[in-house]
């Protein structure tokens, strides 16, 4: 992976807004039908903000998160991330932007089963070309920050669900991204572990001034973030206080 091709683009970061979505549309074509999942989505998120994306199952939350995370491009509209128009970026530049600016946290953790916790966390740094010794050192510090300093040599299978999600959070944050995108991060956890994971994400949002966006269908989870928006019938609306 060539991380270097995105560096020049990253310097264009003197914008107040980290995220600016204007009139975003995303549709899927199935046989003879077109499904309009996102119709006209507008959203601005400032650096350091925390925001929940709510919506019923199938409303398009993950579709929106995939657009925000540069995993999928919108069909219509304009997306500026950190001042960069993503439609102008090459696939290599998009990959570099993802690696440098964004940390992902998924419902099913998405850790590599054959790697230790430490090596899972070090992976984004390795992709950047950071030397293995230095990558492991930074990964260890990040694992310690999420409370797993003693478990770094464990593989995912010998960790609990909550511990696996902590490893995934460490992996998301180790590269000091501007943005954490979490898609139902507590969906596979019991209520008290879910609460611990949310508390950790919110602490890290404040402490590392990383912007935090959490997709959830759970109003209780959403109520812990500073702002809530809801996907509904292809549009996004401010959801107000929980």
Please state the closest distance from residue 75 (CB atom) to ligand ADP, in A. Answer: 12
Instruction: Decide if 34 contacts 198 (C-beta within 8 A).
Output: no
Site for ligand ADP in 160-189 (CB under 6 A): none
For 233, phi and psi rounded to 5 degrees?
Answer: 50, 45
Return the residue of 4, 8, 11, 35 that touches ligand ADP, per CB under 6 A: 35
CB of 240 to ligand ADP, least distance (A): 20
- List binders of ligand ADP among 102-141 (CB under 6 A): none
Site string for ligand ADP, 62-101 (x = CB under 6 A): xx--------------------------------------
Contact 51, 19 (CB under 8 A): no
Residues in region 50-69 near ligand ADP by CB under 6 A: 55, 57-63
Stretch of 42-50, 54-62, 173-181, 194-202 contacting Mg ion, by CB under 5 A: 54-62
Token pair recorded at residue 62: 């993950």
Q: Which is nearer to ligand ADP, 28 or 132 (CB)?
A: 28
Shortest Å distance, C-beta 109 to ligand ADP? 17
Applying CB under 6 A, among 14, 30, 113, 150 the residue interacting with ligand ADP is 30
Binding string, 56-85, against Mg ion, x = CB under 5 A?
-----xx-----------------------
Please state at what angle helix 161-173 crosses helix 117-127, rounded to 10 degrees: 20
Q: Nearest distance from residue 112's CB to ligand ADP, in Å?
A: 24
Out of ligand ADP, Mg ion, none, what residue 58 binds, judged by CB under 5 to 8 A for its kind, is ligand ADP
Alpha-carbon distances, residue 218 vs 99, 147, 166, 206 (angstroms)? 29, 25, 20, 22
The residues in 210-239 that bind Mg ion, with binding defined as CB under 5 A, are none
Residues forming the site for Mg ion (CB under 5 A): 61-62
Residues forming the site for ligand ADP (CB under 6 A): 28, 30, 35, 37, 55, 57-63
């Amino acid at each position: 992976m060539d991380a270097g091709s995105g560096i020049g683009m990253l310097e264009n970061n003197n914008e107040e807004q980290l995220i600016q979505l204007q009139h975003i549309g995303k549709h899927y074509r199935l046989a003879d039908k077109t499904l309009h999942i996102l119709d006209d989505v507008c959203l601005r998120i400032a650096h350091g903000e925390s925001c929940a994306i709510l919506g019923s199952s199938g409303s398009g939350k993950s579709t929106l998160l995939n657009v925000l995370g540069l995993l999928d491009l919108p069909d219509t509209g304009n997306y500026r991330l950190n001042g960069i128009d993503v439609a102008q970026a090459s696939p290599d530049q998009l990959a570099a932007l993802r690696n440098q600016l964004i940390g992902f946290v998924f419902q099913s953790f998405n850790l590599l089963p054959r790697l230790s916790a430490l090596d899972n966390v070090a992976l984004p740094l390795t992709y950047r070309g950071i030397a293995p010794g230095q990558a492991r050192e930074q990964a260890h510090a990040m694992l310690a920050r999420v409370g797993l300093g003693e478990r770094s040599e464990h593989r995912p299978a010998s960790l609990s669900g909550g511990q696996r999600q902590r490893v995934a959070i460490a992996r998301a944050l180790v590269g000091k991204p501007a943005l954490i995108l979490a898609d139902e991060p507590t969906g596979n956890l019991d209520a008290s572990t879910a609460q611990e994971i949310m508390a950790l994400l919110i602490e890290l949002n404040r402490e590392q001034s990383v912007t935090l966006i959490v997709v959830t269908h759970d109003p209780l989870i959403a109520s812990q973030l500073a702002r809530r928006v809801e996907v509904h019938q292809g549009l996004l609306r401010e959801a107000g206080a929980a």
